[in-house]
Chains A and B, each alone.
Chain A
Amino acid sequence: MALDMATAQKTILDFLEGKAKSKTKFYFNDFCDLFPDEKSRDVKKVLTELVKGEKIVYWSSGSTTMYGLKGLGKHADGEE
């Protein structure tokens, strides 16, 4: 089943906004759980589009990467 890009983006943004009060960063697998019937590569394409559209951002510890809504969470001075 092919993902509809606009619907999938909304699903992801709704999920992130719904959790925003308690959690601001999520693993890639958390998004795959939103689309249990889809290939993870297709979910990645949706997330990549959201990054390109500056809706979400990557957060990296150096060894692990997470995703979050742009502007949410605690930021160090200078973090964009």
Chain B
Amino acid sequence: MAKHQTPMLDELTKGPWPSFVDDIKAEAARRAANKDGVEYQIPVDVCDDLLGILELAYKDKETHWKHGGIVGVFGYGGGVIGRYCDVPQQFPGVAHFHTVRLNQPGGKFYTTEYLRDIMKIWDMRGSGLTNMHGSTGDIVLLGTFTEQLEEIFYEMTHKLNTDLGGSGSNLRTPAECMGMSRCEYACYDTMALCYALTNEYQDELHRPAFPYKFKFKFDGCPNGCVAALARSDLSFVGTWKGAIKVDQKAVAAYVAGELKPNAGAHAGRDWGKFDIMKEVVNLCPTQCMSYDGKTLSINDKECYRCMHCINTMPVALKVGDEKGLCMLAGAKAPILDGAQMSSLLVPFLPVEEPFDEIKEVVENIWEWWMEEGKNRERLGETLKRLGFGKILEVTGITPDARHVQHPRENPYIFWSAEEVGGWDRDIKEYRKRHAR
């Protein structure tokens, strides 16, 4: 028998999709049964009370969570998000319901043993509910009490070598695709760069001093498996210089049906014979490809790296040999409105340890944004407000055609006095050459 009647929440369990209500009920039953004999440090009925307070919020049509708080672990300004309910007598199990963010392992590689060890701590000291993973990439632990926070922090760091992630006006937990560890498309070692910058910027991650949140994301190639371009203030996307490498024999094998397109990823249905013109050449967004029945040609200067041809024929087409990354700035994906993609900032950088060139760009941007950014203003908003030219100026990057999104949209270029050798001129000298 459930602790609280939840008729409205129960409606959510009737559809065809998995329901979070079912999941929370399952966890409530598991905690009540306690087959593993866990010594629960927070109320055993936390999950029941979570459902209860949500049902009440649906009934009242207003939230019963209070906003924010001072909770955290000593010395850290992020990693814990305080949440308290305003009806603690009615729902004591969720009087506190703080979220703990953990910095996920690189590429989200972990063993089942590691996950079980996290859950041993979390079952005992928290609700047992998790979000794997939060949109930032963290392992998110949902719901614990203030007095458990230092204990959780100690055990996660000392037993599992796992730090808290970022929240608030911090550098958020950097996230990367699995990169070269599994993927042939990766143009740089995303895990190495993410690890290096995470270590380098620990202070920014744990002690907030930015105008607002700041996100790094690392995609190994333009396929963008962590969607860096769409949601990180600074996006690192793998790319290459020069030509896509074409193996004409393998192209012929795809055309003859000897190799499955997309590495067989869509082979569950009969799509008919592979048609290279229809499925590759004519889909090229810049129309830079042609196929004469024998040879596939690519005008690489026109390619803007949509990756479609390479994804479709991965045996025949490979990314070029000179690999590196491009940096883009200013993306954000807020919940309500104002979503914005990143703008190209550094067209190409080789990726070499100790990544000094990258760090220099990052630090110049931060220095500027910390001075100029308004409270609760993302980098992309500061960019829009002050102009893209400003970020080029502070990073010392020479403007070039690739920074211009719509070349003919706005013909006015605002030159500074330094760029044109000053505005003053000798009018007498001028009049010698030009009559009034």
The chain A residues found within 8 Å of chain B, CB to CB, are 27-29, 32, 39-41, 43-44, 47-48, 51-52, 57-65, 68, 75-80
A/B interface sample: 6 pairs, CB < 8 A: A44-B207, A57-B70, A60-B69, A62-B99, A63-B167, A79-B70
Instruction: Give Cα distance in the complex from A79 to B82, angstroms.
Output: 9
CB-CB under 8 A from A68, the residues of chain B are 70
Nearest B residue (CB) for A26: B375
0/1 string, B223-243, CB within 8 A of A gives 1: 000000000000000000000
Q: A40-B209, A60-B68, A76-B69 are in contact. Are A65 and B170 (CB under 8 A)?
A: yes
Residue among B70, B145, B207 with max Cβ neighbours from chain A (10 Å): B70
When each residue 66-83 of chain B gets 1 if its CB lies under 8 Å from chain A and 0 otherwise, what string results? 111111100111101110
Q: Is B93 an interface residue (CB 8 A)?
A: no
B285 contacts chain A at the CB level, 8 A cutoff: no
Per a CB cutoff under 8 Å, which of A39, A48, A57, A62 touches B207? A48
A47 contacts which of B78, B209, B210 (Cβ < 8 Å)?
B209
Would you call the interface of chain A mostly helix, strand, loop, or mixed?
A: mixed
Q: Is the CB of A59 within 8 A of B210?
A: no
Q: Are A76 and B207 in touch, CB under 8 angstroms?
A: no
B34 to chain A, nearest CB (A): 25
Interface size class of B (residues with CB under 8 A): 35 or more
Tell me if A65 and B78 are in contact (CB < 8 A).
yes
In the complex, what's the smallest C-beta–C-beta distance from A1 to chain B, in angstroms?
Answer: 16
Q: Are A63 and B72 closer than 8 Å at their CB atoms? A: no
The residue in chain A whose Cβ has the minimal distance to the Cβ of B149 is A80
Q: Which 5 A-B pairs have the closest CB atoms?
A: A65-B168, A61-B68, A65-B208, A76-B84, A62-B81
Chain A residues lying within 8 Å of B367, measured Cβ to Cβ, are: 39-41
Contact A77 B169 (CB under 8 A): no
Give the complex CA separation of A32 and B78 in angstroms.
20
A48 to B75, CA, bound (A): 8
